[in-house]
Structure 1
Amino acid sequence: MTTKLLLKALALSIALPGAAMAGGTHAGDHGKDKAAQQSHASTDDHHEMMALGQPAKGEVTRTVKVVMREDYEGDKPFVYEPGELTFAAGETVRLHIVNEGEEVHEFVMDTMDANAEHKEVMAKFPEMEHDDPNSVRLEPGQEAEILWTFGKPGTFEFACLIPGHYEGGMHGSLTIN
């Protein structure tokens, strides 16, 4: 979560205490139909370049499926499959995100610091959702896509920032080579 979004969420919570919670979003209406959003990452030019890249710029070279689900019998109740992602700098990828679980889950990719900051805000406002090109929130059985061009080499993270999910194991390493 960017500092700008954090400040916006905090300002709303102070100025309009009921509105931030009732609205259910902190950067737009993610309550709209997911099918209509599937390609929003490739059409939203108002989002600035992030450390890990930007919405797709160029032709998609491959598709990577990421499954979100619960595993109550394992040592981590919330999981992503695969648990680690690796991309090349400049690579444009279609991330096909599928919620095969029985609970709502998110896929948010960003720096570890930005995700930690965002997680703190989500703990205070658990009904907040995302309208960022680097994230999706899905109900059970839903699918969505993020079309993304990865930036400079580094280690990043993907995570579910719904309270309790990160702590339950729902995060993984995203490496750009």
Structure 2
Amino acid sequence: MSINFRFHKLPSLVAALAIIAAGSAQAAGSGDHHHGAGHGNEATPVGPMSFGNPGKAADADRVVEIVMGDNYFEPETLSFTAGETIHFKVVNSGTLVHEFNLGTPSYHEAHQGEMMMMQQHGVLMGDHINHEMMNMPMGDDGHVMRHDHPNSVLLEPGKSGDIVWTFTSGGDIEFACNVPGHYAAGMVGTVDVE
């Protein structure tokens, strides 16, 4: 797809982009971008999550700290009991943008395509997120990549975020970073639910 525009329309285009960017900056908040962590589009469907659902911080049974480095998680394995609500406190200590995302292997595979689209459209820029582009239409269907899911947090270096999740059953559950190339490089861990 090629975009052609004449230079006499450039001032109008710049003005329109400035308005969009201003609105996007307000939507982006402080720069910590959380998926469903209390702002943005919390009704965004995540798809069926047979192993659990979003929880409330006030109901958390315990807090689990997750450190994301450049292509690794600490810890690498997590164990919970069915019915347990976990408050994940996630910190990106790496030099790149990373994601903590709870899902099945097939969910992560599908989400990696969305993350690739975000990279191709200039939203994910290696060491930072272009928050203005976050709310721009992407792809053939023109949907907006707010990336605001309750099972995931996307963080720039040095940033932190929270996810609260209630695990209802076990299964094939992973936590992963779906930024292009990171999952393949081993940035994935397992979740055991008894």
Alignment of 1:169 onto 2:186: yes
- Name the Cα RMSD after superposition: 3.1
Counterparts of 1:9-88 in structure 2, within 5 Å, are 31-33=28-30, 37=34, 39-40=37-38, 44=42, 50-56=49-55, 59-70=59-70, 78-88=71-81
TM-score with structure 2 setting the length: 0.64
Distance 1:94 1:34, change over 3 A: farther
Shift, 1:35, TM fit? 5.5
**Corresponding residue of 1:120:** 113
- 2-structure distance, mates of 1:124, 1:85: 29
- Aligned partners of 2:69, 2:111: CA distance in 1, in Å? 21
Give the aligned partner of residue 101 of structure 1: 94
- Once residues 163 and 36 of structure 1 are traced to their aligned partners in structure 2, the CA distance between those partners, rounded to angstroms, is 18
The alignment of Structure 1 onto Structure 2 pairs a total of residues equal to: 144
- Seen in structure 2, the aligned counterparts of structure 1 residues 131 and 36 have a Cα distance that, compared at 3 Å, is closer
- Work out which of the two has the higher radius of gyration on C-alpha atoms and give 1 or 2: 2
Structure 2: segments with no counterpart, 5+ residues: 2-16, 21-25, 124-144
Residue of structure 1 equivalent to 2:140 = none
TM-score by length of 1: 0.69
Q: Give secondary structure in 1 for the equivalent of 2:94.
A: coil
The unaligned stretches of length 5 or more in structure 1 are 1-12, 14-21, 24-28, 71-77
